[in-house]
Structure formats: C-alpha cells, structure tokens
C-alpha cells in the first residue's frame, strides 16, 4: 500500500529541442491546468536556450530546467526527466503536444483512490482519451481521430494505443527500477508501459483530455518502415518472456481482433455500398429531373431567342429614339446655355438696378429730411407772418383811429386857424 499526500505533487516531464513556439504553447497548457501543485521538469536535449520561454511560468508552478550540452535522444532525455522529477505522480508532455485544462484534475483523483488500495495488482496508471490532429504549414489543426481504447493487456502486447501525453503513473514504479530502454528511440513509451504493466493494472478514463499533434517535424513513428522495424524490436524483447499460453492468447486475440477489424471493414464497406446504392438511385432520379429541366430550358431558350430578336428590333427603335433624344438634349443644352447667359446678364442688370435703387432711396431719405426741415421753417415763417399781420392789423386800426382823430381835429376851428397861420409863415 502506498500512502500519497493530498493533494499530491505532479511532476510533468517535458522533452524539447529547438521548438520554442510549440514549447510555449505546451507550457501554456500546463499553466492553464485547474490542478495544483505542479512541478515542470524541462529537458532541453541540446537545443537552443529555452529560458526566454520558461521565464513566463508563474510562481504557482515549480520549474526544473535541465540544459543538456549535446543531444542524447528521446529515450535518454526521458530518463533524465525521471531522475530529476520529485512528484508523487509522474507524466510526460512533449513540446509539440498539449493538454486541455481539465487533464490533470481528471486523472489525479482516480489514481489517488487506486493508490490507496492494499492490493499488489491495483491500478497504478490511468490514461485519458487523446484527440489526434494534423497540423498544416500554417499551424492550423485538422481533426484526424481519437485514441480512446479501453485497456486490454493483450492489445498492449500487440501494439501501443496509449499516447505518452495521455497517462499519469505513480513514481513508485520508477523507484522500483522502471526505466526507458536505451535500445529504443522509437516506441520507447510502448516498452515503458509494458514494464509498468508488470507491476500494476491500467485504467482508461473515457474523456478527451489531451491533444496529439502530427506534423512534418514529428518523430519517425509515422514512417512505416521505421515503425515496423521498431515494433519488431519490441516483440524480440517481450515475446521470449511470454508463456506458451500467453502467446497463444495473444495470437488468438490477434486473430479475433483481425476478424473484428475485417467485420468492421465489411460492415463499413456494406454501409458504403448501401450508401452508394442510395446515391446511385438518387443520381438517376436527379438525372431524370435534369433531363426534364433541360427540355424545359431548351423551350425557354427558344422563347428567349425569339424574345431577343423582338427585343433587338425594339432596341434599334429605342436606339433611334435615343439618338433623337440626344440631339434634342444637345439643342436643349444650347438653349439652356443661352438662357443661362441671359440669366447671368439679367442678374447683373438687377444688381446694378438694386445699387441705383439703394442710391435713390438714400437721396429720397436726404430730401425727406430736408423737406421736414423746410416744413418746420415754413411753419415758423407762417407764424411770423401771422404775427406781423396781426401787428399790421393793429397798426391799421391805430392809423384808422388816428385818422379819425385827425379828421376830427381838422374839422375844428383851432386846426383851421393853425393851418392858415402855417401857410402865412411859409
């Protein structure tokens, strides 16, 4: 029975070499994990410095950076990671792959529960499903398939179906001597799983938690010749250790698996044939409909030709009307130009008249002011004349009065005597 602290430290071993951009994406997927605590052990296998990328890791994640002076290969780099990892649970995530945020949370809990079992044959490794994608030259991912095979020990002997980034296992197995075999630099993870399986059971968690990226820079696992040769090396190592019964079971399982594969292919072929039959029937129906449509379209075409010929005559007539209209428009344009000139002349005349009117209005205002002043002077003169007339009337009255008095005086004896004396003196 193994006692694990809660929550256990998970060590993530990252092998990398000269892929800073993908390493950055890989580490970012670790940072986004909802689980803590995490230790990241980066094995830089003789590549360019990765410090510019690792400096962005937060303080919540412990980092061990192992810089190798020369390239030692995938297998030796993996063992370097195992040597430096300090976690209770161990896992791998190569720099060209990444995890979904719930990956560790999904795997830690079932492995923690299983590790408490007193059974010597308890579950000691869990793995989730993995989505495989193809990465084009622009970095765009295109879905391929999903690795989601439930665990079967015979299937594991036959071929590896557990991508290395999908699994989480106890460090106990490393302490007990499980290592990556240096004779393998391809399928080294398959051999590693076979070693661990000698010590414990595996459990599949049916949830996609990781992404396996296939691209031009991927390992030779996608080269069929290299893959076949590597698989033969695995068989040469493990088949001699199997009992006759185990080998027979493996052969039988292989036959059953092959029969199941053939049955699946036949079922798939039958589905494809049925689908092709349906598509053929549908195609015939579509062809018949198209033939009818073609006949209908031919009729429409002939009608269209007749219509076009009629339209041509109409177009010729319209063209003549158009030319007449153009001539009329040109004549109208000349008339408009003439009217525009006349209008501009009228505008200038009106402006000049407006200036004359303003001048006349100013003169009228001045005359009006002068007339008002003259009217006031006339009123004053009239008042003066009236006053003088009144004075004249007064003088006339006075003269009349004096005349009457004079006449009265002249009629007196004294006046007459005085007049005679006056004449005598003269």
What are the pLDDT digits (tens) for 309-333? 888 888 588 688 879 858 875 888 8
For the ranges 84-88, 171-175, 272-276, the lowest mean pLDDT is seen at 272-276
Rg (CA), the chain: 61
pLDDT-based confidence at residue 3 (cuts at 50, 70, 90)? low
User: What is the rounded CA–CA span in Å between residue 136 and residue 264?
Assistant: 30
Q: Is the pLDDT of residue 116 over 90?
A: no
pLDDT-based confidence at residue 258 (cuts at 50, 70, 90)? low
Higher pLDDT, 289 or 27: 27
What mean pLDDT do residues 205-212 have? 98
**Looking at residue 261, what is its pLDDT?**
55
Higher pLDDT, 256 or 37: 37
Closest CA to 20 of 186, 217, 220: 217
Contact 61, 39 (CB under 8 A): yes
The CATH number of 10-238, from 3.90.550.10, 3.40.50.300, 3.40.50.2020, 3.30.413.10, is 3.90.550.10
For the ranges 35-44, 228-237, 262-271, the lowest mean pLDDT is seen at 262-271
| Average pLDDT of every residue of the chain | 86
Domain locations in the chain?
10-238
What mean pLDDT do residues 251-271 have? 65
Strand 10-16 with 98-99, pairing: unpaired
pTM above 0.95, yes or no: no
Six-digit token string for 141: 């991912």
Beta bridge partners of 11: 39, 90
């Amino acid at each position: 029975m193994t006692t694990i602290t809660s929550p256990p430290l998970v060590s993530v071993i990252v092998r990398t070499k000269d892929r800073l951009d993908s390493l950055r994406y890989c580490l970012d997927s670790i940072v986004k994990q909802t689980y803590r605590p995490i230790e990241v052990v980066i094995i830089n296998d003789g590549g360019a410095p990765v410090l510019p990328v690792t400096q962005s890791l937060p303080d919540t994640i412990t980092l061990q950076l192992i810089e190798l002076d020369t390239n030692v290969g995938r297998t030796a780099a993996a063992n370097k990671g195992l040597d430096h990892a300090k976690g209770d649970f161990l896992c791998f995530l190569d720099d060209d792959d990444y995890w979904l945020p719930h990956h560790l949370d999904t795997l830690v809990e079932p492995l923690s529960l299983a590790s408490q079992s007193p059974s010597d044959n308890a579950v000691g490794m869990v793995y989730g499903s993995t989505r495989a994608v193809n990465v084009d030259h622009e970095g765009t991912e295109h879905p391929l398939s999903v690795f989601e095979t439930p665990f079967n020990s015979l299937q594991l002997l036959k071929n590896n179906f557990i991508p290395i980034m999908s699994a989480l296992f106890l460090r106990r197995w490393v302490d007990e001597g499980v290592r990556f075999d240096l004779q393998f630099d391809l399928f080294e993870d398959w051999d590693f799983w076979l070693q661990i399986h000698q010590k414990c059971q595996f459990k599949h968690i049916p949830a996609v938690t990781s992404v396996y990226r296939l691209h031009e820079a991927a390992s030779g696992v996608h080269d069929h010749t290299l893959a076949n040769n590597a698989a033969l090396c695995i068989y040469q190592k493990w088949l001699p250790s199997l009992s006759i019964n185990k080998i027979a079971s493996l052969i039988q399982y292989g036959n059953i698996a092959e029969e199941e594969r053939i049955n699946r292919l036949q079922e798939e072929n039958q589905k494809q044939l049925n689908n092709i039959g349906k598509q053929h029937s549908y195609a015939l129906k579509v062809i018949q409909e198209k033939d009818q449509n073609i006949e209908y379209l031919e009729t429409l075409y002939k009608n269209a030709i007749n219509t076009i010929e009629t339209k041509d005559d109409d177009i010729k007539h319209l063209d003549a009307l158009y030319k007449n209209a153009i001539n009329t428009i040109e004549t109208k344009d000349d008339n408009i130009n003439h009217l525009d000139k006349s209008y501009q002349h009228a505008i200038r005349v009106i402006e000049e008249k407006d200036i004359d009117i303003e001048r006349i209005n100013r003169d009228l205002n001045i005359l009006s002011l002068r007339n008002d002043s003259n009217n006031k002077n006339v009123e004053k003169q009239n008042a003066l004349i009236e006053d003088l007339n009144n004075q004249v009337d007064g003088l006339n009255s006075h003269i009349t009065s004096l005349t009457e008095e004079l006449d009265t005086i002249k009629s007196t004896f004294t006046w007459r005597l005085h007049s005679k004396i006056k004449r005598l003196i003269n």
